[in-house]
Chains A and B, each alone.
Chain A
Amino acid sequence: MLNYTFHWNQAFKALPQMLDGALVTLQIALLSMVIGLALALTLTAFRLSGNRILSGFATTWVEIARNTPALFQIYMAHFGLGNFGIHLSPYTALLVGIAFNNAGYLAENFRGALKAIPDTQARAGRSLGMTPVQAFRLIVLPQMLRIAFLPVTNQMVWAILMTSLGVTVGMNTDLAGITQELNARSFRTFEFFALAAVIYYIIAKLVTLAARLLAARMFRY
């Protein structure tokens, strides 16, 4: 049983401050997705290259990114690199950690999408006189991005939620950081955390909705 009296007016007073934090959260998530997508495409290219060193590098990246906790990855970006004299600010460390994680998951999304496209399509393109690069760029790539679109949206939502791990490396400007600070100051834990949860929920829902609208426009026949 919760032995606690809620004082929502105290929490609502801090709402503008929390919404500022939500913007920082969204900004980090978006940036980490842009970087993550670029890296994931590179990793996918490495895997397809047939070069053993490049594809080994890509596989190692994906293995570490997918099979270790995001918390560990972010912590390593700050304190791990810090041990070697490389000092990333909390903001950068969080961004690097999430982008690293995103790249690993997105590369797997792309791999799955590639598997769903029959080999025969690229071969048909080749028999029409396209070069291998043309066949990939004009036939395979558009389909791959389309199949991977919804899983990518999923990763975006995941990236938003992962930003909350920034508090472990001293992040205090995002939504989770600001919530923690408000909580420390007043001990009104439940109001602030409930409010933060609602804000995270709304951001995630809006992103999903935007992605659906975008998909409906982009992928019509």
Chain B
Amino acid sequence: MKFSVLAFSLLATTVLTSQAHADKLDDIISSGTLRCAVVLDFPPMGSRDESNNPIGFDVDYCNDLAKALGVTAEIVETPFPERIPALMSGRVDVGVASTSDTLERAKTVGMTVPYFAFEMAVTANEKSGIKSFEDMKGKVVGATAGTYEAIALEKQVKAWGVGEFRPYQTQADVFLALSQGQLDATVSTSTVAQANVKTGKFPGIAVVGKAPFDIDYVALFTNREEYGLINYLNLFINQQVRTGRYAELYGKWVGGEVPSLSVNGVYR
């Protein structure tokens, strides 16, 4: 009798603890679906084609990740400000959403090593007469709320002490305002700037130069405590570069020289 009670409690403990040890990586594999938060208002990283299907670098990247995990990918569209609520409320497993890996944000979510790197470019309305980053001083400038460049640009405007900064909710609104002349200039990632100027949807704007911000390294993210998954993601990013898939996707969506994802002189 005593023995069976002991055996039962031992069994119960084993079952319960093994359940408690099932982490997010296990959950993804057993559910058979990987849900990625992707920003689909951010070409060429994420957008929609004519038949409304999600396309872009981040979409392909999520599909590759799902393939490596042996599950099917589900793209969940999240505007920039909604990436974190989507993760925290359990609607997505991983963010493949061009998320800059700032220390402030890493207090809230778990960041992987960089999987992509952006350079910042200044795009200006041709009537504004802005020819370089310094010319933006004292003008009305804007960027997409919640992005790395918006935070950096707002700080710069405050440092200049003149001019006005306006954050818009989507990248499309920024370029619309810029094209209408409501904004004189914007700072965005050079890939996004080139892609938007090329569409021809926004007449009267041109990329005028580089912005002297640090290179914007972006990471995949998931819940902070999911070390198992973060570990897997880091290796996945490493393999993407090693196998040449990163360069292939870069050529497909962006083109030009493939940016390095490592920082000289320091480990991570």
Q: Which of A1, A181, A190 interacts with B145 by CB under 8 Å? A: A181
Nearest CB of A to B181, in Å: 7
Question: Mask for B91-112, Cβ within 8 A of A = 1, else 0?
Answer: 0000000000010110111000
Instruction: Kindly state whether residue A205 has any CB partner on chain B within 8 Å.
Output: no
Chief secondary structure at chain A's binding surface: helix
Instruction: Kindly state whether residue B165 has any CB partner on chain A within 8 Å.
Output: yes
- Near B by CB (< 8 A), chain A positions 100-115 give none
Chief secondary structure at chain B's binding surface: mixed
Instruction: Kindly state whether residue B114 has any CB partner on chain A within 8 Å.
Output: no
Chain B residues near A83 (CB, 8 Å)?
180
The answer to whether B88 and A168 touch across the interface, beta carbons within 8 angstroms, is no
Query: What residue in chain A is nearest B183 (Cβ atoms)?
Result: A170
Q: Which of B165, B167, B180 interacts with A87 by CB under 8 Å? A: B180
The answer to whether B105 and A187 touch across the interface, beta carbons within 8 angstroms, is yes
Instruction: Kindly state whether residue A79 has any CB partner on chain B within 8 Å.
Output: yes
CA distance A36 to B224 in the complex (A): 48
- Near A by CB (< 8 A), chain B positions 173-206 give 173, 176-177, 180-182
Instruction: Kindly state whether residue A186 has any CB partner on chain B within 8 Å.
Output: yes
Instruction: Kindly state whether residue A128 has any CB partner on chain B within 8 Å.
Output: no
Q: Given A167-B145, A172-B166, A184-B81 in contact, is the A2-B108 Cβ separation under 8 Å?
A: no
Q: Which of A2, A90, A185 interacts with B104 by CB under 8 Å? A: A185
- Near A by CB (< 8 A), chain B positions 116-161 give 142, 145-147, 150-151, 154
Nearest CB of A to B97, in Å: 12
Instruction: Kindly state whether residue B233 has any CB partner on chain A within 8 Å.
Output: no
The answer to whether A4 and B169 touch across the interface, beta carbons within 8 angstroms, is no
Question: Mask for A28-45, Cβ within 8 A of B = 1, else 0?
Answer: 000000000000000000
Binding site for B on A (CB under 8 A): 1-4, 7, 78-79, 82-83, 85, 87, 89-90, 167-170, 172, 177, 180-181, 183-190
- The 5 lowest CB-CB distance pairs between A and B, nearest first, are A184-B146, A170-B166, A187-B108, A82-B180, A187-B84
Binding site for A on B (CB under 8 A): 80-81, 84-85, 88-90, 102, 104-105, 107-109, 142, 145-147, 150-151, 154, 164-169, 173, 176-177, 180-182, 223
Q: Beyond A78-B177, A82-B177, A168-B168: 9 further Cβ-contacts under 8 Å?
A: A79-B180, A83-B180, A90-B166, A170-B173, A183-B146, A186-B107, A187-B104, A187-B107, A188-B108
23 contacts between A and B (CB under 8 A): A1-B90, A2-B88, A79-B173, A79-B182, A82-B176, A82-B180, A87-B182, A89-B164, A167-B167, A168-B168, A168-B169, A170-B168, A172-B165, A172-B167, A177-B167, A180-B145, A180-B167, A184-B146, A184-B151, A185-B104, A185-B151, A187-B108, A189-B84
